[in-house]
Copies of this chain bind each other. A is one copy, B any other.
Amino acid sequence: MTGPHPMVEIHRGGFVESRHSGHAVVCDSGGTIVEAWGDPDAVILPRSAAKMLQALPLVASGAARAAGLGPRQLALACASHQGAPLHVAEVGTWLERLGLRAEDLRCGPEPSRDKTLRFEMIRTGQRPGRIHNNCSGKHTGFLTLARHLGTGPDYVAPEHPVQRACRAHFEDMTGAPSPGFGIDGCSAPNFATTVAGLARAMARMAGAAGRAGAAEQASAALVEAMIAHPDLVAGEGRACTLLMRAASEPVAIKTGAEGVFVAILPQRGLGLALKIADGATRASECAVAALLVRLGVLEAGHPDVARFLNPPIRNWDGQVTGEIRTADRFG
């Protein structure tokens, strides 16, 4: 077993202050590993980087079509949105159309990550709601599927038909049985796979357009929706949104908690997955930018790439005191 590969360094005053290592795999749509760093067989919880896979049964089952969902709802089903007014309004409308309320969501209440709204809610004494949770789009997708299947309200229970469908699609796309699951920040099961398995699933999504089969057609629809609506996938200022917008070709990019990132490159039929071993987001953002620069999808000099690839570290007085950059021989 290979250890994690050095990927990202924190520099301050000429010293490497901290270091992040990880595992990364680029896979083609035939399932072959094109390039890898660290251990491709490292077992990980993909966290929110699995949202596109968790949204597959919503589309493949016909539930999305039956509910009249468009690309905006599909993008939100794959999103870790920041609970900005845009996201809250869109999810709210979707819930209304289902005749449901925010209280029907099983994701817990999370303060909005949109600073203006968060401060406004503090000023006016409003408590964070379930609809502000970054996963509220995924959960509204789960509710849509649960209704379509005619099943009960506890859609996050691992044995609920919604989660059984998620697991079946997850294992189909990663190409291997999942060794188990953890409970995610939003209370839904999060199925484990290897870094290679996650890259394989992303590559299959990348090569799905125009292919036959329910999973392929659902994959293509979700990838298209994400690429069409980067603002719904995360939000202003966030890595997924800015990197998708900065890309020189259509690409879907998605973060997951604890240092996970994935990318889907439809024009090349490639999928990418990475996990920072220590779980740091500052490192996963830098590493995914580096790998997408390496693949020729992002330009290192683009300001919205540089802010993740090589950001300055500023102190409380705004002074630049250091920088984040890739380790030698990575990216």
Contacts and interface: CB of A to CB of B under 8 A. Distances in A.
Contact of A318 (B12, B108, B119, B133): B108
A243 B18 CA distance: 25
A278 B123 contact: no
Please state the number of chain copies in the assembly: 2
Nearest to A120: B122
B321 A184 contact: yes
Interface stretch (A24-32, A166-174, A186-194, A198-206): A186-194
Contacts of A321: 182-185
A87 interface: no
A89 to B, nearest CB: 20
Given A18-B259, A279-B10, A317 B180 contact: no
Interface of A: 10, 12-15, 17-20, 43-45, 106-110, 119, 122-123, 133, 180-187, 190, 192, 258-259, 276-280, 283, 315-319, 321-322
27 contacts: A10-B258, A12-B45, A12-B182, A12-B183, A13-B45, A14-B182, A15-B44, A15-B45, A17-B45, A17-B182, A17-B279, A18-B259, A18-B278, A19-B277, A106-B317, A108-B316, A108-B319, A123-B123, A182-B321, A183-B315, A185-B316, A185-B321, A186-B315, A186-B316, A187-B317, A187-B319, A278-B283
Given A17-B279, A187-B317, A278-B278, 14 more contacts: A13-B180, A13-B192, A15-B43, A15-B44, A15-B180, A20-B278, A107-B316, A107-B317, A108-B315, A108-B319, A119-B122, A122-B122, A185-B315, A280-B280
